[in-house]
Amino acid sequence: MSRSRHSYQPRLGHGLPHDPLNAIIGPRPIGWISSQSAAGVRNLAPYSFFNCFNYQPPIIGFSSQGWKDSVANIAETGEFVWNLATRELAVAMNESSASVASDQDEFALAGLTALPGTQVNVSMVAESPVNFECKLTQLIQLEDASGKKLEQWMVLGEAVAIHIDHQLLEEGIYQTAKANPILRAGGPSAYYAISEDLRFDLVRPDARKS
């Protein structure tokens, strides 16, 4: 099959109105990360470079462009919380992305309730239906292909406590669409929700053999 392609080398520019990378690798789950400084100042911020990387122990991670308050707090304390961003919380999540002074509490700024963690000294978003309390496992400064250090830090953490709203469990099975999560897409403002109507199932080849 022959395709007409727009091709480019990222280091030379993409030649488009907006960088397509975020739209291609998407929609992406949102790393809504709460942290706390050693002095006790709370921080809450969303990161669109986020995902889960291991089952057991559960390892999740996010990447920050620049040494932001979240990274500084986690480097200092070794703890953070991931909070599920839902359609109902989308506006509050967006408000928590504001660039404010490090002594500002984004929980208060976004009108959210801070719920104390059970295993870490970091507050969870009480309004969020799912929270992962995490301990830092790795803090990595990313490099390009030539080995040059980038102003980008990847934070990996082990989820040591997971909290799920009982309404999202049906016969013990977590219902992804019922949580109404939101996902980041391309451009400066695009997000997506998901729907049960869009679900489809595939059985892995190895599972079909059993």
In a domain, 8, yes or no: no
Mean pLDDT of 194-204: 92
Identify the burial level of 99 via C-beta atoms within 10 angstroms of its C-beta, where 0-12 means exposed, 13-18 middle and 19 or more buried: exposed
Q: Specify the number of domains making up the chain.
A: 1
**In the prediction, which pLDDT does 188 show?**
84
pLDDT band (50, 70, 90) for residue 207: confident
Nearest CA to 42 out of 105, 93, 128, 127 is that of: 105
Using CA atoms, how far apart are residues 58 and 133, in angstroms rounded to an integer?
A: 11
What DSSP string runs through 121-133? Answer: SSEEETTSSEEEE
Mean pLDDT of 134-138: 98
Using CA atoms, how far apart are residues 84 and 88, in angstroms rounded to an integer?
A: 11
Range of the domain at 122: 28-199
In a domain, 125, yes or no: yes
In a domain, 188, yes or no: yes
Contact 80, 157 (CB under 8 A): yes
**In the prediction, which pLDDT does 210 show?**
61
In a domain, 6, yes or no: no
Contact 83, 32 (CB under 8 A): yes
Residue 125 has pLDDT above 80, yes or no: yes
In a domain, 177, yes or no: yes
Using CA atoms, how far apart are residues 118 and 43, in angstroms rounded to an integer?
A: 18
Q: Please, which residues have CB within 8 angstroms of residue 191's CB and are 6 or more apart in sequence?
A: 27, 90, 182, 183, 184, 185
Contact 176, 84 (CB under 8 A): no
**In the prediction, which pLDDT does 58 show?**
96
In a domain, 16, yes or no: no
- Report phi then psi at 48, rounded to 5: -90, -10
CATH of the domain at 121: 2.30.110.10
Query: How many other β-carbons are positioned within 10 Å of the β-carbon of residue 120?
Result: 23
**In the prediction, which pLDDT does 209 show?**
75
**In the prediction, which pLDDT does 182 show?**
96
Task: Classify residue 189 by its DSSP letter.
Answer: T
Using CA atoms, how far apart are residues 116 and 124, in angstroms rounded to an integer?
A: 6
**In the prediction, which pLDDT does 40 show?**
94
In a domain, 4, yes or no: no
Kindly report the pTM of this predicted structure: 0.93
The least confident of 8-12, 80-84, 87-91, 125-129 is 8-12
In a domain, 3, yes or no: no
pLDDT band (50, 70, 90) for residue 128: very high
List residues bridging with 134 in a β-sheet.
80, 159
Cis-peptide into 58, omega within 30 deg: no
Using CA atoms, how far apart are residues 55 and 27, in angstroms rounded to an integer?
A: 21
**In the prediction, which pLDDT does 19 show?**
85
**In the prediction, which pLDDT does 158 show?**
97
Contact 130, 176 (CB under 8 A): no
Average pLDDT, whole number, for the chain?
Answer: 94
